[in-house]
Structure formats: C-alpha cells, structure tokens
Amino acid sequence: MSELIAMVQRVNQAFLDKDEATLRACLTPDYTYTGPLDAMNIDGLEACISVMNGFELKPVNAKSEWVETTDKVVEIFEWTLKQPISCVVPMVEISTFRNQKIASTRAFFDPALLPSMS
C-alpha cells in the first residue's frame, strides 16, 4: 500500500478515534472538506478538530477501492452506518496532498440516500 493511501486511512481512523494528534500530523492548517451538503463543509484544521470532537456516529468505509495519482488519492466506498440509523451510501472522496499532508478532501454522494435522524 502506498504512503498516501495509508495516510488517508490513518486520518479516517483518527476521526473516529478522536485522535487530534494524528489529524494535526496528517492535515495542513488550511485543510478543507467539501461535500454536497453545506453542513458537511469544513474550512481549516481547527474546524475539522471541532467537528471530529462533536461527531457521534461510527460509520465504516466498506468495500473500499483506491486510485492514486501523484498528489491525489481517490477512495470509492460504501459508507455504512448501523446505529442510530441504518444506511449504506455509495461515496467517493478525493484527497489532495500538498507538502506530504492532506490539503483538501472532496466528497461525492447522493444526499437523498441519507435517512432522517429525527
């Protein structure tokens, strides 16, 4: 496995484990996360850490497939959640690297597949 893919996997696990040190080691200070829902957008490492600390879901990225270029890693996967809601959402995330850290991640999925949490 490549170093870039391993770093994306470490960041994914760090988010679930609430591991601030790993996020700081792997993400640039100006890291951004963008997706199809405005509520998901993150602007900056500190904002990412804040979102991580408030994140209560425990999803699994299942059936991951990876594509890598010189400065990008693409993960194609099924975002699987069992509690408090059950859903499987096909997703694609593209992480872009700068100076051996992840500078941005862009997520693609159909928001209509997310069940209501109310």
25: confidence class by pLDDT, cuts 50, 70, 90: very high
Write the CB contacts of 16 (distance below 8 Å, at least 6 apart in sequence). Answer: 58, 59
Assess contact for 72 and 65: CB atoms under 8 A: no
- pLDDT reading at 116 higher than 80: no
> What is the per-residue pLDDT across 38-70, written as a single tens digit (0 to 9) for each?
888 999 999 999 988 887 767 778 899 999 999
Average pLDDT of every residue of the chain: 91
117: confidence class by pLDDT, cuts 50, 70, 90: low
- pLDDT reading at 84 higher than 80: no
For the stretch 3-10, contacts whose Cβ atoms lie closer than 8 Å and that sit 24 or more positions apart, written own/partner, are: 4/68, 4/73, 4/95, 4/97, 5/66, 5/68, 5/73, 7/73, 7/97, 7/101, 7/102, 8/73, 8/75, 8/95, 8/102
86: confidence class by pLDDT, cuts 50, 70, 90: confident
Average the pLDDT over 92-115 and give the result.
94
Assess contact for 24 and 45: CB atoms under 8 A: yes
Domains of the chain: 3-113 (3.10.450.50)
> What is the per-residue pLDDT across 2-22, written as a single tens digit (0 to 9) for each?
999 999 999 999 988 999 999
33: confidence class by pLDDT, cuts 50, 70, 90: very high
